[in-house]
Structure 1
Amino acid sequence: KQGQCVYQGLTMFDQAVWSPKPCVTCLCTGGRVVCDEITCPITHCHFPFTPTGECCPVCMEPLDLSGDSPVPNEPYNSVTPLTQEEIQRILWREEEEHLEEKERLRKKDEVKKKRKKHKKEQAEIQRKLVEERRKAEQKALRLELEKEDEERRKQIEEIERRRQEEKEDRRQRQAAEREAREYEKRLEEERRRQEEMLRKELLALEEDEEEYLEEQQEERLEDVEERQEKEDEEEVWLRGDVFQMPPKEPEEPKEPNVFPGPIPKPPAVLEDKLKKTEAEEEEDAEVVVVNRGGLPPGCDISDVTVTCDNAKLMYFPPLSIPELKSLSLENNISSIPAEAFNGIPNLEWVNLKKNKLTSAGIGVKAFKGLKMLRRLYLDGNLLEVVPADLPPPLQELKISENRLRRIDENSFHDLSSLVILELEGNLLSEGNVDPLAFAPLIQLSYLRLGRNHFRTIPQGLPKSLLELYLENNLIEEISETVFNQSQNLNVVSLRHNRLDETRIAPLAWINRYVFAHMEPGLEYLYLSYNKLDGEGVEPESFFGSYSSMVELCLDNNQLITVPSGINEMTNLHFLRLNNNKIICDPDHRGDATLVALRLENNYIDPQKVSRTAFSCIRASSSVILKPQKTK
């Protein structure tokens, strides 16, 4: 059993004590035998002896046969015999020492057990930590492998899809080319057949005309011969037969009219056929003229503009019209070859909206050669990055409703002339937009980043920016330096976000003096559909825009009072405070410039509003106060 000991074939219980031989004491503790030999003290007598049952010798005086009292002659020879009580006390003391030693060994063993148990617990904890770390690493590795497998699978699917699309595009292109060739062949055969029929009809007409002319000429010759014969038979005789007058010389016959008569008109049916043939030849001529630039069916050309919207094109048409200025291709195009614009290098406006363009499908430097390009529209495609090597003269770029996942530092390289940039409806956030991405855009005035995944206002906004639109994002935090460089902002729209006064930095524009450095000052500020309450809009919040603010929208928030700083705005025309929790009496003394004020869907009691509260409004119909909420 646990704790018992086996000694020389005998089983001893735990804490059992025994003496296998004199002067040796053994102890069973924790399944282990501990033996201790008693050390005897040194005796200073001549006749030491060991009492029965003892292991150490003791001194005893020798018997004096003379009967005299023993007197020690030498100090070291004097030995006092031990009494039984002293021997018993010695034994008890030894027993106590033995028990103390036993207790010490027990406590030592307990300490060892506790230390061993603690070490075991520590080892178990360490093992569990190692096991958890190993499981976490295995899970992370498994997730990483699964992610890599998923990405590899997506890449394979994307490659396969592109291959299928390219194959389908190639098949459709070949089918379109084959159909175009067949159509041209049919047109050519029809034209030849029409020409052959016309030639045959003309030949028949010419033969009829020749026969008719020959008959007319023969009739005329016969008439001339008959008249000549009659003239030859006439004779004139003088009276008396003296003299016979010479016969009257015949008049030279008039030269017959050998010129052909008018060509008879063909029959009506033939005339209609001729007209149709001429019309078809004119149409063929027109088609030939239009197709000189490689224009596919379904496209229209007007002056220097080509429009191929909804022409069901699967590929970029190979055009060759150097004078072309504008091109619109809203179709199902999935790729743009690198040489796509070689035949149309002078384009100023390109519309490629609502296609199936991918970043991999746009050839390297496809737009590089368009030295005159000013506007480029790529909305509604499948782009994941901004196309590279866009021409420097570009002034307007639209890539909304795509799949943009990042904007690098060099995405807008060399676009120093860009004025308008729209990137709405993508997958952009502060984590994948480089803070230096907007640095090259030194002339950018208009920036739209709505319907993305921004949680904060992106850093590095251009100094030249006039209008900023960030509605329908996830913005819930505004840093204190985000607008430091934007001195010319005129319009800021942050509608439909998650702005909360607790997440706004103490030095941010909503809580301090950010507008003071703007020239000429902010005019339009839209903060609708956020989580702002009365503490988030302090009187100093609009400092710097008191004389410039024209329109302010704070509707659909959690305001409980009309922000006091609004009374200082001397140029405010439109104010929206509807759908809040305003319960105070609105007081707008000094807002003489207000044109429209909306306060509906709050907690205002119209009966408690003073008659002069809105006397400064230009028209009473411009104040919307109903309906109101009830608590």
Structure 2
Amino acid sequence: MRTGPLLAAVWLLLVFAVTPGQNGRDVRRTKRKRDGHGQARVRSGHAKPLRSRQVPRSPRVPAEPVRGNVVLLESYRDGPERHSSYNVLPGRQGQCVFQGMTMFNQAVWAPTPCVTCLCTGGRVVCDELACPATPCRLPIVPAAGGECCPVCTDSDPDLSLELSGDSPAPRNRDNHDSIASTPQLTHEEIQRILWREEEERLEEDEQLRKREEAKKRKRKERKEQEERQRRIAEEARRREEEEEEERRKTEEEESRRKEEKEAREREEKLREEILREQEEEEVWLRGDVFQMVPKEEEEPEEPDLLPAPIPRPPAAAEDELKEEEDEEEEEEKEVAVNAGGLPPGCDISDVTLTCDNAKLTYFPPLLMPQLKSLSLEGNNISSIPAEAFNGIPNLEWINLKKNKLTSAGIDQRAFQSLKMLKRLYLDGNLLEVAPANLPPSLQELKINENRLQRIQGNTFQGLSSLAILELEANLLSEANMDPKAFASLAQLSYLRLGQNHFRSIPQGLPPLLLELYLENNLIEEIPAGVFNNSKNLNVLSLGHNRLEETRIAPLAWIHHRSLESMDLSYNKLYLVPSYLPTSLVHLVLVGNHIERIPGFVFAHMDPGLEYLYLSYNKLDGEAIEPESFFGSYHSMVELCLDHNQLLSVPSGINEMTNLHFLRLNNNNIRSIPDECICDPECNGDSTLVAVRLENNLIDPLKVSPSAFSCVRSSSSVVLKPQKIK
């Protein structure tokens, strides 16, 4: 019944207690180890700190009797060294007899260095210490100190390596039983070795754990990196899709715009073609000599074309033109053209060299004495040196339009050597003043669309042969133009000053001037006597200004016997001006605010007005009086009253015996009486060629066939379409 408690007590005694003698021996042994052999076995810097811990083991207490009532217990080989903590008071009962000695109950003693005995209940229980295997080659058992197990000497390298942790062959940490069973090692040494191996195992486990964590972290980072790359790839793919979609939309938008632009261009081209055909038809019908031709069409496109002819008797003009053509043909036959050394983009034909839009940035050096015409239009030439024309001294025509020439870039001696120069075109450059020292042979000079800011008195000095001068689209006005600027131009007959900033007619006009163009300025009045020195003036263009009929002086031009064509379109006129020139033949009043044609306003004209354009005004039912066209009944050839507010065909038209072309379209006319256009009493040959009456309020079915009996062809009468009633 007492075997279970007895074994538990023995276990506790072995774990926690030793006898005082044993304690003292352990203390002495520990001290000796620290002072002697212990230092050899555990070297500084290699021994690891030991942590006090218990390694639980299942108790094995074999009840093997030894010599009488002595029970020998097998030592716990894997556990750490335990010191005695017995605290037993000897008693008489339960005494034990061991080897002839009487031991009190609970007495503990060591009969041999490796055996510890306990007297309990009259029985002796002994614990025999099993010595661990010695790792050295020469183990010894110390004679003093009560050592029971062999130890290595200080000169044994195997033990030093083993205890210092520097052994090249690590011990298997699972072989604890073999270490604990080695009889040469003490409990403390076994404990240290086992603790060190446990530390190493824990460290290896920690390293393994860290490696696993590192692997997990790397896997996580790799996964995150793959996720980031996937997101980046998805984002890039999404951006590419968006860019592709945007590009597709842009291409579709550009294609749509291109199609719309092409459609607009086709419509515009078709409209221009229709208008051109209409204009050609109208010009053919009326034989108009006062055509407001656009500037682009006025300028000759080919260098061998002549400039706009100066009005002169037809026979003389034809003879002179024929003589000039014959002379040019003879010269072309006699001259041998040298086509070598041409700049890239240039082409030569006979005596004409063309380098248009050749991307030239400098004036090309040329050695062609036979050359007569040179075109360098549309390049980037900014300067002309003094020797530019030394190799081509016989030039008669130079075209330098649309370059980047500046006044400072043209040398003052550049044109001096050109003794035969007749035409010089400098349109579309950056000139602020006209070039100096131009040759006296010059007959035509064009400096349109530049930056001319002043015309001095000597600007055109010496140009006694100059007949055509164009200075349109500059910065000129009466303030920066000297009144004597045209004094030396004795032969000047054609002058263009449109698209500038003139508020009044320039002073000092040449006496032989035939045509003067001042459209697109700021002119507000026509004072008396302004044209007194220009008695030969034949054509005057004042369209797109600010003229009013009250600001035109009565004696401004009424006595001029040569002024035949006048353009007063797009001004601020409310009436057809009175006191018009007596010799007037062509009168353009398109685009004003004219509400009335006063009676007898054309009566003083001799031989009489032939072309009258009153389109796009505000003429209504009371605008035209019975006497409005008095004086032009036998002279009127073309009458344009379209795009007004007329309610009926004006009176007096049926009396115009020489009328060829009549426009009454785009009004509010409702009916065509039989006698309003054709005079039934007229028995002569009909002159009326075309009548336009479309876009009115006329019912074609109600128009009598005899209403257009004087029209040469019924197909020339336009009645459709009409406005919706």
* TM bucket, shorter chain: 0.3 to 0.5
Query: Greater relative contact order: 1 or 2 (C-alpha under 8 angstroms, separation 6 or more)?
Result: 2
Give me the TM-score of the superposition, normalised by structure 1: 0.48
Q: Which has the larger radius of gyration?
A: 2
Q: Please state which structure has a larger fraction of its residues in helix.
A: 1
Give me the TM-score of the superposition, normalised by structure 2: 0.42
